[in-house]
Amino acid sequence: MPDISSSRVRLLVSVRDAAEAALARDAGADLIDAKDPDRGALGDLPPDTVRAIAAASGDRLTSAVAGEPQDGRAASACLAALAGTGVRYLKIAWAPRRDATGLVLPAGRPVIAVLFAEDGPSGADVPALAAAGFSGAMIDTRGKDGRRLTDHLPLPRLAGFAGACQTHGLLSGLAGSLALDDIPALAALGPGYLGFRGGLCGQGDRTGRLDPARIAEAVRRLAAVVPCPEAA
């Protein structure tokens, strides 16, 4: 079962190396996510880099993206390559309604399915993810062209996704070129976490370096949000 409490929405910060992991840790990130921002939405990092990130994250929860495979067998291989790196969660791109034939999830390592907003995911996709053995599900944006998550999907649909995850016992996450100003509306929907990269970098450039002041501000804004009763 996911080990992120549903009592509040947590902050996920994507990092590219151990130095950024330490910075995110010290600035208050709840979940430190290993990802290569130079390689698209879910660019995976080498296992040795992921190990160093896990070590630098201290007592914070950690995750690592495992790429964008095209089928279950390829996903299994990508996940296996990172299963021994010491992170708590693994994340893998997964198309809505994809056949899970050939998918083998690593034992003892919760896996989060990442659905892209451009594919139109909804809460109706969640039962199949739970049946396939995923421990969590999140929505991100495939394209990093300045459009944010809510440019693709309306708030009611995102709320339905987060609610379906809660009903089926899955950790839920929302991400996709989020800005600090997105926090109140999205956190009120009751996801397990909100994921950030570009919005926490200088000039909003996701390939740049993280700004600790922006991370601290995200932490502050999340702490101020009270989830809607129907999302709690």
Summarised one tens digit per residue, pLDDT across range 43-102 is 999 999 999 999 999 999 999 999 999 999 999 999 999 999 999 999 999 999 999 999
pLDDT at residue 50 in the model = 98
pLDDT (tens digit per residue) in 161-207: 999 999 999 999 999 999 999 999 999 999 999 999 999 998 888 98
Second CATH level (architecture) for the domain 10-223: Alpha-Beta Barrel (3.20)
Helices 18-27/212-223 angle, 10° precision: 40
pLDDT at residue 202 in the model = 86
> The tokens of 29 are what?
């990130």
Confidence band for 144, pLDDT divided at 50, 70 and 90: confident
> The tokens of 102 are what?
């050939």
Q: Which of 8, 25, 60, 91 is catalytic?
A: 91
pLDDT at residue 2 in the model = 46
Report how far residue 172's alpha carbon sits from residue 189's, in angstroms, rounded to the nearest whole number. Answer: 11
Residue 35 annotated to the active site: yes
DSSP structural state of residue 120: -
Q: Which of 35, 88, 142, 197 is catalytic?
A: 35
Residue 139 has pLDDT above 80, yes or no: yes
Do the Cβ atoms of 90 and 106 come closer than 8 Å?
yes
pLDDT at residue 5 in the model = 53
Do the Cβ atoms of 171 and 11 come closer than 8 Å?
no
pLDDT at residue 226 in the model = 66
Helices 72-82/47-56 angle, 10° precision: 50
Report how far residue 13's alpha carbon sits from residue 29's, in angstroms, rounded to the nearest whole number. Answer: 6
Residue 144 annotated to the active site: no
Residue 4: closest CA among 92, 112, 78: 112
Task: List, in sequence order, every residue forming a beta bridge with 10; answer none if it has no partner.
Answer: 193
CA angle 133, 60, 125 (to 5 degrees): 25
What number is the average pLDDT over the span 3-20? 86
Report how far residue 125's alpha carbon sits from residue 139's, in angstroms, rounded to the nearest whole number. Answer: 11
Report how far residue 152's alpha carbon sits from residue 157's, in angstroms, rounded to the nearest whole number. Answer: 10
